[in-house]
Amino acid sequence: MEKVDVSGLSCPMPVIRTKKVMDQGAEEILVVGTSQVSKENVSKLAVSQGYQVEMTVDAKDNWEMKLSKK
Amino acid sequence: MNRSKWFILIAGLAIGAIAAILVKLGNPANMGFCIACFERDIAGALGLHRAGVVQYVRPEIIGLILGAMLTSMFAGEFKARGGSSTLVRFFMGVFMMIGALVFLGCPLRDVLRMAGGDYNAVVAFLGFIAGVASGVFFLRRGFNLGRAENSHSNVGGLLLPLFFAFLLFLLLKGTVFNPEAGGPLFFSKEGPGSMAAPIGISLAAGLLVGLLAQRTRLCLSGGIRDFILIRDNHLLLGFIGIFLGALILNLVFGFFKPGFAEQPIAHTMHIWNFLGLYLVGITATLLGGCPLRQLILSGEGDTDAAAVVVGMIVGAALCHNFLLAASGAGVPIYGQIACVVGIVVMLWIGWSYREA
């Protein structure tokens, strides 16, 4: 599984980094981050790119999500 | 369209309408909100510059930052964080203000000016799109100012909101330290700085828009950026909402006057309208948000965004003290030079901060 760490990155870098890995054809991606905004943006991107989103950690200051191609 | 898209569209409509109402109640024309102009007025009110016509502690700005702070606290999103090239961001804030004062408005006022029929704002809008596109060019090549870190104490995130709350206290109390020279606050007796809606209404408008902007993540540069980058129109809907909300009420109030000439607090030097917002567009995109968004992020505890806000206030003082700021008569030669220097500096930063 590919891992992307978007902790502390300002807009829109979390989305760019995740999309880069998606464009390389990754079927399963683990994304970790810190802000609620990046969580919303990355999961929105994932849905639009046909990935299933599973939140594995969903705390106020850090989150982790597993993206898998449907 | 899903729920969050409806929400940001409606929030935009409300913000545009509120802006038109603020003009009706006394704010300068096409300036219900202008983050750059209002921060410039605050710089003047603090005596950081001596342009007598643009000095006022704009309660809208105070409302925006406090509204965003309270909303983010309520949502559990308030968190002091920072450390992503803070000084670089400060100077980028300075240059973002220079670009805004060459055009005479931030991206938010650009939308409001377009909704008032000011065609110069359309020219500037094209410059803004070009600026955002230039920023996206660097983002795609791995531009990054570095990661911010969450702080173990939230005090840092409270400092700028508390400073603005202190300004509100001084404004309401009307303290005068020096009866002859004025101060601690200075107020315009004429010009745009003397035109203002009642304090309570301006403050309430700021608080409400701060709440809406915090919840919707509204960002004017972000709207165009996301559309270019990933064909996402979410933030763009907020942009369109503001335009329509302001346009409808401008038509109702009889404020809509289409044309290039004789527009309120505007000039017709097309190249500088274009380049002014070009500079704002590229800077905002590299910073991750427009002047409005920087203010909202400051309220959420982002100390890097707070450095941008302080940079913009200092930048406004420099603009007036160095004769860079435009007026209805046009852009002074030093302002033209500073705008070009700003663009060169942004290209330099954009290129230098790319990661492998």
**What is the CATH topology of the domain spanning A2-69?**
Translation Initiation Factor IF3 (3.30.110)
Q: How far is B8 from chain A (nearest CA, A)?
A: 14
Strand partners, B250: none
pTM of the predicted model over 0.90 = yes
Distance between B285 CA and the closest CA of chain A, angstroms: 9
Rounded Cα distance between A2 and A14, Å, is 15
B304 contacts in chain A (CB < 8 Å)? 10
Query: Which chain B residues are within 8 Å of A7, Cβ to Cβ?
Result: 147
Phi-psi region of B55 (alpha: psi -120 to 50; beta: other; left: phi over 0): beta
**Helix B291-299 vs helix B86-103: crossing angle, to nearest 10:** 140
DSSP assignment letter at A9 = P
pLDDT in tens, chain B (356 residues): 889 999 999 999 999 999 999 999 999 999 999 999 999 999 999 999 999 999 999 999 999 999 999 999 999 999 999 999 999 999 999 999 999 999 999 999 999 999 999 999 999 999 999 999 999 999 999 999 999 999 999 999 999 999 999 999 999 998 888 888 888 999 999 999 999 999 999 999 999 999 999 999 999 999 999 999 999 999 999 999 999 999 999 999 999 999 999 999 999 999 999 999 999 999 999 999 999 999 999 999 999 999 999 999 999 999 999 999 999 999 999 999 999 999 999 999 999 999 96
Does A32 lie at the interface with B, CB-CB under 8 angstroms?
Answer: no
Token couple for B283: 């800077």
Q: Which of B1, B354, B5 is nearest to B145 (CA)?
A: B354
- What ipTM was predicted for this assembly? 0.93
A12 interfaces chain B, CB cutoff of 8 Å: yes
What are the extents of the domains in chain A? Answer: 2-69
Instruction: Spell out which residues of chain A touch residue B84, defining contact as CB-CB under 8 Å.
Output: 8, 10
Residue B169 CA, distance from chain mean position: 23
B294, B147 Cβ separation under 8 angstroms: no
**Distance (Å) from the alpha carbon of B103 to chain A's nearest alpha carbon:** 25
Residue A11 to residue B242: CA distance in whole angstroms: 22
- Sorted by where each begins, the domain ranges of chain B are 3-352
Residue whose structure tokens are 């990935």: A51
- State both tokens at B160: 């700028």
Strands A2-5 and A28-33, by their bridges, are: parallel
- Bridge partner list, A68: A28, A52
